[in-house]
């Protein structure tokens, strides 16, 4: 009977270790957080279990790949609930000595996992935890006072005297989203969800929820025609680049939307080398797959500038070489203060910014940030490096 009662919680600890060891995106972790990756101290996550149930099972799962086994380990609502309860507990306990680089690696791994599940607000919350550690002076890294980075600088200086009440801590709102998600194991679904047209009014109204904002974030997504390769097109597939905007509220809720700029085909050859220009439109990319992603917390001013850019693009002409999906997303990222060093490539009868080259720049680490590159959340499958 005792083993039955603790099994959900134990599986949660096992999944934590699972996340760290098998997660794609771990390869670029040192570039993003500035430390050499080391083995996770699993003792930190097993101390509340009986001695006989601590590390053996966790250790046997070290070499497993989270993405390949996500459905097995997170398909159960009971397991997701146990995992989230544990995450909320450690999120509220950062005054411990355990809030060190090992904890930072854990949060970064969780950010990768939730991003792959397309739970972007939760992913960026986990990434925010890595920034909290980085922003603390060496002498204060075990204390509770911290200033939020670019998200609220020059707008609202948010002091966090108690992590239990911090606006960006993991909380029961996140628990509800994650635990009650009907298909949290959608990573193994190979189907491509078709994005549907969306208006600018629908985009802007997402954030008109009548609630006071405490932080904002932008994610920049790339779906390459051939993952991990700079091949600009594969048959008719040219890939896609899109963005996600997030608004966090003081009541611990959040709203977000993913969208990109698309051609509205006027004829069979619209948005092709033979007829590169046509009408443009936005589409809802909440369910769109991606190969690489970059994310950053941004100020209200930057957030508003991106919304104004979106308004300017509303009804704008699409051009395969001069004003495509990647051009729009790169401009949005530029307003957020980051980007890639090279996004341009060529194809028959044309050339310009494209998802293939942009994705390769992210994989190669050819990214930049106006303030500090460590402020960027970056994720991609490390297997793409081998391609």
Tell me the pLDDT tens digit for each residue of 295-306: 999 999 999 999
295-312 as b/e: b if 16+ CB within 10 A? bbbbbbebbebbbeebee
123-138 as b/e: b if 16+ CB within 10 A? bbbbbbbbbbbbbbee
d(CA 91, CA 386) in angstroms, rounded, equals 35
pLDDT of res. 295:
97
pLDDT band of residue 17 (cuts 50, 70, 90) is low
DSSP 3-state assignment of 215?
A: strand
Q: How many residues does the chain have?
A: 387
d(CA 120, CA 296) in angstroms, rounded, equals 11
Task: Express each pLDDT in 245-280 by its tens digit.
Answer: 999 999 889 999 999 999 998 888 887 888 899 999
- Per-residue pLDDT for 240 more than 70? yes
First to last CA, the chain: 49
The backbone region for 365, taken as left when phi is positive above 0, alpha when psi lies in -120 to 50, beta otherwise, is left
pTM: 0.79
Enter the tokens of residue 10: 């134990």
Distinct helix (H) and strand (E) counts, the chain: 13, 12
d(CA 296, CA 371) in angstroms, rounded, equals 11
Other C-beta atoms closer than 10 Å to the C-beta of 199 total: 12
DSSP 3-state assignment of 252?
A: coil
Rg (CA), the chain: 21
Under 8 Å between Cβ of 181 and 77:
no
Cα→Cα distances 307→204, 299, 310, 314, Å: 7, 13, 5, 11
Average pLDDT over residues 96-123: 80
Work out the mean pLDDT of the chain and round it to a whole number.
75
pLDDT of res. 134:
58
- Per-residue pLDDT for 157 more than 60? no
Residue among 238, 199, 229 at smallest CA distance from 347: 238
User: Look-up: residue for tokens 């405490």?
Assistant: 214
The DSSP 8-state label assigned to residue 187 in this structure reads: G
- Quote the percentage of the chain above a pLDDT of 90: 42
pLDDT band of residue 33 (cuts 50, 70, 90) is very low
Other C-beta atoms closer than 10 Å to the C-beta of 82 total: 21
Least confident of 7-11, 248-252, 365-369: 7-11
**DSSP letter for each residue of 21-33:** HH-TTGGGHHHHH
pLDDT of res. 294:
98
d(CA 200, CA 313) in angstroms, rounded, equals 9
Under 8 Å between Cβ of 142 and 103:
no
Which residues make Cβ contacts (< 8 Å) with residue 46, sequence separation at least 6? Answer: 13, 53, 54, 55, 58
pLDDT of res. 110:
86
Average pLDDT over residues 233-245: 92
Residue among 350, 355, 351, 325 at smallest CA distance from 340: 355
Residue among 183, 16, 14 at smallest CA distance from 91: 16
- Per-residue pLDDT for 144 more than 80? no
- Per-residue pLDDT for 127 more than 70? yes
d(CA 255, CA 204) in angstroms, rounded, equals 11
Least confident of 33-37, 128-132, 335-339, 376-380: 33-37
pLDDT of res. 365:
94
d(CA 200, CA 195) in angstroms, rounded, equals 15
d(CA 281, CA 283) in angstroms, rounded, equals 7
Under 8 Å between Cβ of 188 and 66:
no
Enter the tokens of residue 312: 């300017």
d(CA 341, CA 319) in angstroms, rounded, equals 22
Residue 328 phi, psi dihedral angles, 5° rounding? -60, -50
Average pLDDT over residues 22-49: 35
265 against 230, higher pLDDT: 230
pLDDT of res. 205:
97
d(CA 93, CA 98) in angstroms, rounded, equals 9
22 against 320, higher pLDDT: 320
Other C-beta atoms closer than 10 Å to the C-beta of 60 total: 11
């Amino acid at each position: 009977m005792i083993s039955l009662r603790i099994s959900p919680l134990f599986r949660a600890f096992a999944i934590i270790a699972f996340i760290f060891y098998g997660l794609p995106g771990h390869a670029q972790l040192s570039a993003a957080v500035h430390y050499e990756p080391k083995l996770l101290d699993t003792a930190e996550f097993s101390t509340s279990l009986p001695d006989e149930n601590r590390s053996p099972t966790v250790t046997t799962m070290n070499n497993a790949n989270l993405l390949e086994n996500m459905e097995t380990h997170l398909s159960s609502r009971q397991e997701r609930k146990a995992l989230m309860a544990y995450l909320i507990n450690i999120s509220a306990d950062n005054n411990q000595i355990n809030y060190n680089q090992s904890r930072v690696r854990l949060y970064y791994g969780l950010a990768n996992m939730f991003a792959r599940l397309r739970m972007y607000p939760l992913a960026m919350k986990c990434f925010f935890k890595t920034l909290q550690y980085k922003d603390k002076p060496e002498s204060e890294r075990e204390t509770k006072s911290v200033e939020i980075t670019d998200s609220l600088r020059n707008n609202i200086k948010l002091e966090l005297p108690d992590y239990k009440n911090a606006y960006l801590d993991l909380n029961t709102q996140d628990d509800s989203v994650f635990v009650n998600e009907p298909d949290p194991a959608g990573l193994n679904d190979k189907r491509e969800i078709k994005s549907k047209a969306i208006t600018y009014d629908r985009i802007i109204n997402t954030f008109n929820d009548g609630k006071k904002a405490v932080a904002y974030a932008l994610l920049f997504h790339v779906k390459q025609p051939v993952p991990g390769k700079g091949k600009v097109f594969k048959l008719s597939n040219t890939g896609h680049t899109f963005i996600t905007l997030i608004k966090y509220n003081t009541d611990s809720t959040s709203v977000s939307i993913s969208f990109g700029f698309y051609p509205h085909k006027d004829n069979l050859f619209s948005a092709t080398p033979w007829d590169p220009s046509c009408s443009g439109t936005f589409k809802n990319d909440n369910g769109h797959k991606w190969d690489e992603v970059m994310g950053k917390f941004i100020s209200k001013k930057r957030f508003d500038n991106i919304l104004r850019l979106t308004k300017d693009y509303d009804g704008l002409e699409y051009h395969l070489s001069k004003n495509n999906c990647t051009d729009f997303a790169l401009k949005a990222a530029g307003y957020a203060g980051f980007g890639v060093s090279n996004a341009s490539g060529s194809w028959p009868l044309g050339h310009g910014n494209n998802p293939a080259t942009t994705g390769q720049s992210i994989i190669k680490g050819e990214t930049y940030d106006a303030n500090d590159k460590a402020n960027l959340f970056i994720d991609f499958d490390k297997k793409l490096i081998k391609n």
